[in-house]
Copies of this chain bind each other. A is one copy, B any other.
């Protein structure tokens, strides 16, 4: 903190060593004895440049420590070199998923290869949505990466209007045909879990779902009812909100509805952790009395007791594919939605 105040002297002409002007393409041109045009050509690859010129330019770049000025480039090319990741989830749930970490890493890495960067925006409330809309309308991003965007989100119209290439991580319900996406096979994963519970000899199998306006909410339910069919009466399915407390409450409700339940499929590990607590409080043993199946294979799944049998999503792959889709879209290639297989992870709870 000592020196914090003495390097902010910035008089007009006085360019100290700290504040020295950043080298421009002109400086590089001068240092390498060629013209701006040639330097630009070297920097952007492509065009016809002699080997000697290229070498001179590269040396000069290294010497001067030149880094391209994105603002100037952007102004001329009207491409910003950045894409925006839009988080629409009001809850914080997102981040607790290792999910997100992987996505982040994959996205920044893949974009970096193209010298692009990742801007993060949270569109949780109306204010946030407006900001994102303004950002996109202003052309401040070359593309958008949508995370957990809901079906009716007005932002979707904005994006369409702005004409910004966009892809989603996980299907955007109702817009599957408009917004390309990569996703895990939610339906298939749920089906596998339901089949597994049946194979284990369970007969009274309930389900706790996520919100039905999310793909994870509705598709996992579809997979479940696809197997259980009419056996899964209305009382056997309760809806919750992806939180631990919500899962606990839902489990209590389910036990009230169906006291002789012998298995439950919970649509997320966090909710399943809540369900375990409710079952424990109700004196049911897991898995002896009631088998519990989760979904996600998140960190929490191996921390609960008993450890959760769950469905693992190929999140790294999903993230990778999502980013790949966006990049393909930026290159004007044709893209198709991608759906990737899940894997049943058997632990102790079922």
Interface residues of A (CB under 8 A from B): 1-5, 7-8, 10, 18-19, 22, 65, 67-72, 74-75, 80, 82, 85, 87, 92, 94-98, 100-102, 104-105, 108-109, 112, 117-122, 124, 127-128, 131, 134-135, 137-140, 163, 176-178, 180, 244, 270, 273, 280, 299-300, 302-305, 329, 332, 334-337
Contacts and interface: CB of A to CB of B under 8 A. Distances in A.
B302 A300 contact: no
Closest 5 CB pairs of A and B: A67-B138, A95-B101, A71-B74, A3-B177, A92-B101
A233 B97 CA distance: 38
Contacts of A98: 92, 95-96
A1 B321 CA distance: 17
A39 B48 CA distance: 43
B336 A1 contact: yes
Contacts of A82: 119
A152 B131 CA distance: 38
A180 B4 CA distance: 7
A247 to B, nearest CB: 10
- How many chain copies? 2
A138 B95 contact: no
A112 B92 contact: no
Nearest to A6: B177
Given A67-B134, A139-B22, A304-B303, A4 B177 contact: yes
B302 A303 contact: no
Contacts of A109: 122, 128
Contact of A75 (B8, B75, B334): B75
Given A92-B101, A112-B131, A122-B109, A138 B1 contact: no
B105 A94 contact: no
A58 to B, nearest CB: 15
A337 B1 contact: yes
Contacts of A178: 3, 7
